[in-house]
């Protein structure tokens, strides 16, 4: 007969519960009000973790790992598609790779949640947990080039703390999410105090939406975003590449607009080896139609290391020199090979390159419209949209005032998964943080136009070939987050932890 009260079985059940709760937390992010739903789920997770406080510290660490595993396995399973379906890696190795990545990311969650165990229970416990979480999320976006995907902040775009993003950024949204979820748990003991605190923080956060820091500038721009919907496997088929280039070139030149954007590597061929006359033809179209073009190409850079390729956005404006933006924050394994991992990349069935890394202080793209001052667009390429602090730094230090965000993306690597909707939320958060409208030109979706508040104004269906033609209003100005970056919320978090350790020693 099974002894269900056995410590091993009981602890195993708790670990399974944490894994399931982590998966539910990740799934909730995909819901229309996911940011609200995640808060009580987090409260349940803290409750489960507190139940393990009587066990050795390593048990609490393991429990945090299980919570993180459930969260990241469900949230990032689509990486399996790029490894197995596109890259040709055996399914077992692909599954192991996703599991190992989820485990590494779960460590950050586990370390952050240890504050429940390390600090003695006080009225500061929720603040200390939130501060620990913010610091670990910041490190997750920094160490080993960073991978902050699937943070709690982007779900808050559909949650109570979104209005805080223009003030203090996504990390501040994360801080409030963790803190309030802890205070919900405390209502069992201190109902009045915790309830007043929760209600007050939510009301103040919502009131922050009354403040605006950017304003419309100039006349609306006509735009065309072209979604080709080409399978990733075709990127390495010369005939298919030729057909893809012909499609984009013809569609660009079919109708003029103030700004026409095609996706990341929509011309999947080195710039110097594109079909003869292609760029000249597009430049001529730009000149005669007064259209500004942003093209996703493979750039070529000659330097001390010889000829290197880059993931490039190439800009053509009427009667102007070529503009280029080379992607600065590269994807590990996809665009550069970390030291010591070349053996791993050799197992792929597709050609990969060590792309050159663009500088972080590259100029903005000037959109020229007759009779008006230029409108400046800050370009990001795919993965760069994840790093809010880096984008804020670019805008803060730019010689030109940014009026518009443009993201060029190709998520065909990840098939029919939640990856496109996840990145859409990241783009929405970036618009909210900066107070600027955004354009998303993608290969398979989600191609969309976002307002300065991050709301979707127009979009194309996924996995369809089409053109999104509309108008967008440019904005000027800087939000407090663009001016200050993550410094305020990181400073607050560090001060809280210092206070926590001082109190710990005294009592």
Q: Residue 347: its pLDDT value, please?
A: 54
DSSP structure string for 186-234: HTTT-HHHHHHHHHHHHHHHHHGGG----EE-SSPEEEEEEE----GGG
Structure tokens at 74: 């469900």
Model confidence at 54: pLDDT above 90:
no
Averaged over 48-58, what is the pLDDT? 80
In the chain the first and final C-alpha atoms are separated, in Å, by: 46
Those residues whose C-beta lies under 8 Å from the C-beta of residue 317, and which sit 6 or more positions away, are 286, 292, 293, 323, 366, 367, 368
Any idea which of 215-219, 436-440, 448-452, 499-503 has the lowest mean pLDDT? Answer: 499-503
Q: Residue 231: its pLDDT value, please?
A: 85
Q: Residue 21: its pLDDT value, please?
A: 95
Q: Would you please indicate which residues are annotated as catalytic (active-site) residues?
A: 264, 327, 382
Those residues whose C-beta lies under 8 Å from the C-beta of residue 82, and which sit 6 or more positions away, are 334, 413, 414
Averaged over 291-302, what is the pLDDT? 92
Going by C-alpha positions, the residue among 373, 400, 374, 367 that lies closest to residue 291 is 367
Q: Residue 465: its pLDDT value, please?
A: 95
Q: Residue 42: its pLDDT value, please?
A: 96
Range of 12-21, 114-123, 418-427 with top mean pLDDT: 418-427
Model confidence band, residue 31 (pLDDT cutoffs 50, 70, 90): very high
Domains of the chain: 7-211+486-506 (no CATH), 215-335+352-478 (3.60.110.10)
Backbone angles phi, psi at 366, to 5 degrees: -90, 115
Model confidence at 303: pLDDT above 60:
yes
Q: Residue 213: its pLDDT value, please?
A: 95
Q: Residue 235: its pLDDT value, please?
A: 64
Those residues whose C-beta lies under 8 Å from the C-beta of residue 342, and which sit 6 or more positions away, are none
Q: Who has greater pLDDT, 448 or 194?
A: 448
> Rounded to whole angstroms, how far apart are CA atoms 203 and 327?
40
Q: How many helices (H) and strands (E) does the chain have?
A: 18, 15
Model confidence at 3: pLDDT above 80:
no
> Rounded to whole angstroms, how far apart are CA atoms 366 and 315?
9
Which tens digits make up the pLDDT trace of 367-414? 998 778 899 999 999 989 999 999 999 999 999 999 999 999 998 888
Q: Residue 2: its pLDDT value, please?
A: 39
Those residues whose C-beta lies under 8 Å from the C-beta of residue 392, and which sit 6 or more positions away, are 169, 433, 434, 481, 482, 485, 486
- Is residue 471 within 8 A of residue 99, CB to CB? The reply is no
Q: Residue 68: its pLDDT value, please?
A: 94
How buried is residue 40: exposed, middle or buried, by Cβ count under 10 Å (0-12/13-18/19+)?
A: middle
Query: Where would I find the H helices in 273-325?
Result: 278-289
Model confidence band, residue 330 (pLDDT cutoffs 50, 70, 90): confident
Of all residues in the chain, what percent carry a pLDDT higher than 90?
A: 64
Exposure letters 201-225 (e unless 16+ CB within 10 A, then b): bbeebeeeeeeebbeebbeebbbbb
Those residues whose C-beta lies under 8 Å from the C-beta of residue 485, and which sit 6 or more positions away, are 169, 389, 392, 393, 396
Question: What's the DSSP call for residue 416?
Answer: S
Model confidence at 456: pLDDT above 70:
yes
> Rounded to whole angstroms, how far apart are CA atoms 353 and 308?
9
> Rounded to whole angstroms, how far apart are CA atoms 434 and 221?
19
DSSP structure string for 386-411: G-HHHHHHHHHH-SS---EEEEEE--
Those residues whose C-beta lies under 8 Å from the C-beta of residue 330, and which sit 6 or more positions away, are 145, 311, 336, 355, 357, 383
Model confidence at 350: pLDDT above 50:
no
Averaged over 461-488, what is the pLDDT? 96
Residue 262: how many CA atoms within 13 Å on its side-chain side? Answer: 27
- Is residue 9 within 8 A of residue 3, CB to CB? The reply is yes
Which tens digits make up the pLDDT trace of 185-241? 988 888 888 888 889 999 999 999 999 999 999 999 999 999 999 887 666 678 888
Q: Who has greater pLDDT, 87 or 201?
A: 201
Model confidence at 121: pLDDT above 90:
no
Averaged over 350-358, what is the pLDDT? 66
pTM over 0.85: yes
- Is residue 226 within 8 A of residue 262, CB to CB? The reply is yes
Those residues whose C-beta lies under 8 Å from the C-beta of residue 361, and which sit 6 or more positions away, are 394, 397, 398
Q: Ramachandran region of residue 351, left (φ > 0), alpha (ψ -120 to 50) or beta?
A: beta
Averaged over 146-162, what is the pLDDT? 93
- Cα angle at 30 between 28 and 35, to 5 degrees? 55
Those residues whose C-beta lies under 8 Å from the C-beta of residue 382, and which sit 6 or more positions away, are 264, 311, 327, 331, 407, 408, 409, 410, 411, 423
Indicate the SS3 state at residue 246: helix
Which tens digits make up the pLDDT trace of 249-293? 999 999 999 999 999 999 988 888 899 899 999 999 999 999 999
Q: Who has greater pLDDT, 288 or 3?
A: 288
> Rounded to whole angstroms, how far apart are CA atoms 79 and 414?
6
Q: What is the CA radius of gyration of the chain?
A: 24
Structure tokens at 393: 């730094």
Model confidence at 5: pLDDT above 60:
no
Q: Residue 14: its pLDDT value, please?
A: 84
Model confidence band, residue 308 (pLDDT cutoffs 50, 70, 90): confident
Cis peptide bond upstream of 446, omega within 30: yes
CA 379, 432, 227, 231 torsion-angle sign: positive
> Whole-number mean pLDDT of the chain?
89
Averaged over 149-178, what is the pLDDT? 95
> Rounded to whole angstroms, how far apart are CA atoms 232 and 352?
13
- 448 strand-pairing partners: 440, 459
Averaged over 483-490, what is the pLDDT? 96
């Amino acid at each position: 007969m099974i002894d269900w009260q056995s410590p091993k079985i009981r602890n195993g059940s708790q670990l399974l519960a944490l894994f399931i709760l982590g998966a539910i937390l990740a799934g909730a992010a995909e819901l229309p009000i996911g940011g609200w739903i995640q808060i009580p789920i987090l409260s349940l997770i803290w409750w489960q973790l507190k139940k393990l406080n009587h066990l050795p510290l390593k048990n609490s660490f393991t429990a945090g790992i299980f919570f993180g595993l459930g969260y990241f396995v469900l949230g990032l399973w689509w990486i399996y598609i790029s490894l197995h379906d596109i890259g040709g890696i055996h399914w077992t190795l692909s599954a192991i790779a996703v599991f190992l990545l989820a485990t590494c990311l779960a460590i950050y969650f586990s370390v952050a949640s240890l504050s429940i165990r390390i600090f003695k229970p006080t009225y500061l416990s929720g603040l200390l947990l939130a501060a620990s979480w913010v610091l670990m999320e910041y490190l997750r976006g920094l160490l080993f080039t960073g991978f902050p995907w699937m943070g709690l902040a982007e779900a808050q775009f559909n949650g109570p703390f979104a209005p805080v993003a223009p003030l203090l950024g996504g990390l501040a949204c994360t801080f409030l999410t963790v803190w309030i979820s802890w205070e919900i748990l405390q209502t069992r003991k201190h109902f009045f105090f915790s309830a007043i605190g929760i209600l007050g923080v939510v009301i103040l956060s919502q009131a922050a939406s009354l403040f605006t820091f950017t304003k419309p500038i100039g006349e609306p721009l006509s735009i065309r975003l072209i979604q080709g919907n080409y399978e990733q496997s075709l990127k390495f088929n010369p005939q298919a590449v030729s057909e893809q280039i012909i499609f984009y070139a013809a569609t660009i030149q079919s109708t003029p607009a103030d700004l026409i954007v095609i996706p990341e590597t929509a011309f999947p061929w080195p710039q110097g080896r594109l079909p003869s006359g292609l760029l000249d033809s597009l430049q001529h179209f730009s000149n005669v139609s007064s259209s500004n073009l942003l093209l996703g190409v493979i750039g070529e850079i000659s330097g001390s290391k010889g000829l290197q390729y880059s993931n490039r956005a190439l800009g053509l404006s009427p009667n102007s020199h070529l503009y280029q933006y080379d992607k600065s924050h590269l994807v590990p394994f996809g665009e550069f090979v970390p030291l010591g991992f070349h053996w791993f990349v050799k197992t792929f069935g597709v050609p990969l390159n060590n792309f050159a890394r663009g500088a972080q202080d590259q100029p903005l793209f000037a959109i020229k419209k007759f009779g008006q001052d230029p409108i400046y667009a800050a370009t990001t390429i795919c993965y760069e949209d994840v790093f809010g602090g880096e984008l804020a730094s670019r805008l803060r230090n730019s010689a030109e005032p940014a009026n518009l965000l443009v993201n060029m993306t190709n998520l065909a690597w990840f098939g029919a998964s939640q990856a496109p909707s996840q990145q859409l939320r990241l783009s929405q958060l970036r618009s909210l943080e900066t107070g600027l409208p955004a354009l998303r030109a993608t290969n398979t979706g989600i191609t969309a136009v976002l307002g300065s508040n991050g709301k979707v104004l127009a979009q194309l269906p996924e996995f369809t070939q089409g053109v999104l033609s509309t108008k967008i209003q440019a904005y000027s100005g800087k939000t407090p987050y663009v001016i200050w970056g993550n410094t305020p919320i990181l400073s607050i978090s560090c001060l809280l932890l210092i206070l926590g350790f001082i109190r710990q020693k005294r009592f």
